[in-house]
Structure 1
Amino acid sequence: MYFGPSRYKYPKQDATPDEKRVSVQVLVLGDLGRSPRMTYHALSIAKHGGRVDLIGYLENPLYSAVSEHPNITIHALPPPPKKPASLPFLLFAPWKVLLQIYHLTQLLTYGLPPSRWLLVQNPPSIPTLLVAALVCKARHTALMIDWHNYGWTILSSTRLGGASHPLVSVAKAYECLLGRLGTYNLTVTDAMARQLREPPYSIASPTMTVHDRPAAVFRPLDDASRRGEALTSLFRQSMITNKLLPSVVDGATRLLVSSTSWTPDEDFGLLLDALVEYASHSGPEAALPPLLVIITGKGPQKAMYLDRIHTLTKAGRLPNVTVESVFLPFADYATLLSCAELGVCLHRSSSGVDLPMKVVDMFGAGLPVAAYSGYESFGELVREGDNGCGFETADELADILRRLLGQGGRGELDVLRRGAVREGSRRWDEEWDGTVGPILGLV
């Protein structure tokens, strides 16, 4: 990396066509492999002829269309430090933030040429918004903030035990103040866009909703007869329990999918309790079919929940229920969704106004969902009885599983599947071209 004075100049009036192309730096202070919305932004810009510097951590493989596109250059940030188990969070966090400030500042000011736009994911807001605002001011770059959620609400729910903690108050004030410095703001829901215009955010710059939409890789099976072939290939490659394959293919065993980052904002205890409840009513006399539940993803609470699943299984509390945990490449994950019969989403919104991308992907694959519904923006994506069902308790989820997967449930499940296909028919390219593309001068 080059650390001396910047060698780059702004394009001149007599610049070449390549120099006049729209240039955008897309920044994620997180794993690019698990940041689909931001990588979709990068791909859309590139497909319209823009030059993209995609910045973030490289922990998991990227969607191949992104990593292989000639207009996208990927810049991997140094991996963030790991917190020692003995070191308190309040001591570790400042050191981590200082390192992130250093790495971001070096790359954005010395390692890359000035760009026309800097598109930043929020959260995390600390230190991203501060560094981005200062760099944009110094380099005459327009700052676009893509609001996925609020950093202070995540901090409140996962680290410090409540909104009353002084550090949560500081984080909230920081995010509200720095969030006003964006030239444009994008949000994932209408409810979030409305909140940002009101106190305490009071953002005056243009703010628009850009709903998450599925990428082209998420498609319903165009031929139901291909399901067996797709499942056979998937089970073999992913080491999913092959002994269940014949009964999954013929529908005797029903296939459920849930994807997760294994973080505290998804209470997998709800799903496990619901599965125990379902299993207690299954068996030869109960007319409830066996289940194969596949959980995909990586994250900090994975080992804890896998231990709990093992304990429940060993204790005989999950008869006729098999739970598998796998991490799949992007294309295989899309195939799995298209082959499943029901998706389960346990996302709990810390702010009440964000939405889970995993449900968008499920709809893109034509998969109806059962999703946690206890937050304001839920209805912007999931419509009860049309493309999915909502629940807030394990008993409610267990009732949904019994109703949709038991005898007589196929009719309702088919209705929900048709609704999921309709919802997933509007794709990311169509959404982006009508909103972000004109702002960047690419459409």
Structure 2
Amino acid sequence: MVMKFVMVQKTMKKGKRGRAAVVVLGDFGRSPRMQYHALSLARQASLEVDIVAYGGSDPHGAVLDNPSIHLHTMKEVIPHGLPRIFYLLALPLKALAQFLVLLWYVCIRIPSPDVFIVQNPPSIPTLIAVKWACWLRRSAFIIDWHNFGYTLLGLSLGRSHALVKTYYWCERHFGSMADGALCVTKAMQHELAQNWGIRAVVLYDQPPEFFRPALLAEKHELFCRLKKDISHQHGLHDCVTHDIDENTGNSLFTTQIGDSLSMNENRPALIVSSTSWTADEDFEMLLQAALMYDRRVAAILNEPDSIKNEIIWSEISKGKQFLYPRLLFIITGKGPQREKYEEQIKKLNLKRVAFRTMWLKAEDYPLLLGSADLGVCLHTSSSGLDLPMKVVDMFGCGLPVCAVSYSCIEELVKVEHNGLLFASSSELADELLMLFKRFPDECDALKLLRRGAKESGASANWAFEWQQHALPLIEKVIAEKSH
């Protein structure tokens, strides 16, 4: 493989350095797959890598610290969050502004690359601008198909809208002009081949090496750092706030005595869900499941509706063991619907369930997944053909998952091995009750799924998969373009 790549490098035009450009018309810090591409291009293909993307969130430190990776941050010309009345007017204007800025970067600002690797979606204006740059700079063009852009636009406008049809035509036309393609599922590979005339190589998302189960000391340090975020967020007082003493070196989940660390017996079960707070993730389903769990546990324990939260808190502080634990949901991510759902959370009046929303540093997110008891994925896919990267990361950390069921999710989630699927709030509530009964010591079903998740994470390796599937494609298109 190494000798083959050396031969490809020798076929490049005289005086041209081995170089790749990664293009993301979005927040690069929230594009983990493209960050991993950049790392592999630098580490495994020994290329200089130029990243053209928007800023906003910091990428992982491994990307920032790599001397062969160069980040070129574009600025938003038209801001997000315009009123709905201006949405349709702003779409073409925003696309034109993005096209001009992106064209400047890919044609002039960055050094001429041997290959462009482009995240799709968004398709407009990304595919058009990069194709023009490839003509001008005689570079190879690879599209990494994460989903279909026209289906995402169709969530807000409807599939029959004229703009969606125009978007579909552009995505299909310019998508077919690429020199190579990667995609995230076999279902998407089949769709591209049968209906788009595009031959794509499947490169499943895999967690990089920094997604792994957290050590006890790492859990303790993380929970101590997050203590303020967990204790009184948005002025909430619920079933976890009374257990947090900000003046000690202990956390809600861990206790340190001298050099000895231990997990708290009466800790809540920690459930993590990462979301972009967009229309393709039904957060209402999770809120309703939490409410059902709360009410069903009260009914199981024959508690009157008038019971005071203070009684529950005092009993927990005395060490009373409940059949079902308190649940703490930590929801990570940024997006347009976050404030809407935060307002709904405040009105729920839950006794045994608490929610916290936060945005974590890139280095803390894997630690949170590696410290949690369960992951929840609300991703439904606008096309039904992509897979949620967040679940891949969870498996890398040995974290079992409850995920919304849709057409190709079973390419990733193996039911009763590394996770469970649900199609309604009631099903999710049933799964929470089943998994967390007699938590933390006697919940055998949860322990079985955790073993399966660890096996899935241990067998997954981004570097290996990238070298087997992406690198040969990159070598091929560079060699063909150089002749």
TM-score normalised by structure 2 residue count: 0.82
Shift of residue 365, structure 1, vs aligned partner = 0.6
Residue 348, structure 1, aligned to residue 353, structure 2: no
Q: For structure 2, which runs of at least 5 residues remain unmatched after alignment?
A: 1-10, 233-240, 245-250, 255-262, 303-322, 477-483
Letter in 1 for 2:277: W
Q: 1:148 to 1:111 in 2, by over 3 A?
A: same
Q: In the TM superposition, what whole-angstrom CA distance separates every residue of 1:166-223 from its partner, at most 9, and x where no partner exists?
A: 2211211211111101111000001101100012x122xx4100000012111013x5
CA distance in 2, matches of 1:39, 1:120: 12
1:254: which partner in 2? 269
Amino acid at match of 2:377: C
Following TM superposition, by how much is the alpha carbon of 1:236 offset from its aligned partner in structure 2, in angstroms?
A: 3.4
Residues 431-442 of structure 1 mapped to structure 2, 5 A cutoff: 431-441=465-475
Equivalent of 1:146, from 138, 141, 144? Answer: 144
The answer to whether the 8 A contact 1:256-1:293 is kept is yes
**Could you give the per-residue CA deviations for residues 89-144 of structure 1, whole angstroms, max 9, x where no partner exists?**
11011111111111011111121222110100000001111111121122211100
Offset at residue 240 of structure 1 (A) = 4.7
- Residue of structure 1 equivalent to 2:224: 233
Give, as a single letter, the amino acid of the residue that structure 2 aligns with 1:424. Answer: G
1:413 aligns with 2:446: yes
Partner residue, 2:213: 220
Residues 441 and 251 of structure 1: CA distance in aligned 2, closer, same or farther (over 3 Å): farther
The residue matched to 1:191 in structure 2 has which SS? Answer: helix
| Distance in 1 separating the partners of 2:112 and 2:218 | 49
Match of 2:280 among 254, 265, 278: 265
CA distance in 1, matches of 2:51, 2:253: 44
Matched, 1:298 2:302: no
RMSD: 2.0
CA distance, structure 2, for counterparts of residue 251 and residue 330 of structure 1: 29
State the shift of 1:52 in Å: 0.4
Could you tell me which runs of 5 or more consecutive residues in structure 1 were left unpaired when the two chains were aligned.
1-9
The aligned runs of 1:240-389 (5 Å cut-off) are 240=231, 243-244=243-244, 245-246=251-252, 249-252=263-266, 253-283=268-298, 285=301, 287-313=323-349, 318-373=350-405, 375-389=406-420
Q: Residue in 1 aligned with 2:237?
A: none
**Pairing 1:181–2:214 present:** no
Output the CA distance in 2 between the equivalents of 1:400 and 1:86: 38
Q: Label 1:86 to 1:282 Cα distance change in 2 as closer, same or farther (>3 A).
A: closer
1:319-362 residue CA offsets vs partner (Å, 9 max, x unmatched): 11111111111121111111111000100111001011110110
Higher radius of gyration, 1 or 2: 2
Shift of 1:440: 2.5
The letter of the residue matching 1:351 is S
Structure 1 vs Structure 2: percent identity of aligned residues?
40
Residues 402 and 419, structure 2, Cα contact 8 Å, conserved in 1: yes
Task: Return the alpha-carbon distance in structure 2 between the equivalents of residues 147 and 65 of structure 1.
Answer: 24
* 1:298 match: secondary structure: coil
**Cα offset, 1:246, TM superposition:** 4.0
CA shift in 2, pair 1:415/1:88, >3 Å: same
Picking from 132, 135, 148, the partner of 1:134 is 132
Q: How far does the alpha carbon of each residue in 1:9-48 deviate from its partner, in whole angstroms, 9 at most, with x for none?
A: x9753x4xxx44x211100000000000001100111113
Q: How many residues are matched?
A: 416
**107-116 vs 33-42, greater mean Cα deviation:** 107-116
Deviation at 1:308, TM superposition (A): 0.1
CA distance in 1, matches of 2:25, 2:410: 29
1:36 to 2:32 alignment: yes
SS in structure 1 at match of 2:472: helix
Matched letter for residue 28 of structure 2 = L
Aligned pairs (5 A) from 1:16-55 = 19-20=16-17, 22-48=18-44, 49-55=46-52
The within-5 A match list for 1:98-177 is 98-157=96-155, 159-160=156-157, 162-177=158-173
SS in 1 for 2:408: helix
Amino acid at match of 1:250: N
Query: Is the contact between residue 234 and residue 336 of structure 1 (CA under 8 Å) also seen in structure 2?
Result: no
Query: Which amino acid is 1:176 matched to?
Result: R
TM-score, scaled to structure 1: 0.89
1:62, distance to aligned residue in structure 2 (A): 1.1
Relative to 1, partners in 2 of residues 1:171 and 1:64: Cα closer, same or farther, differing over 3 Å? Answer: same
CA distance in 1, matches of 2:41, 2:361: 24
1:428 correspondence with 2:442: no
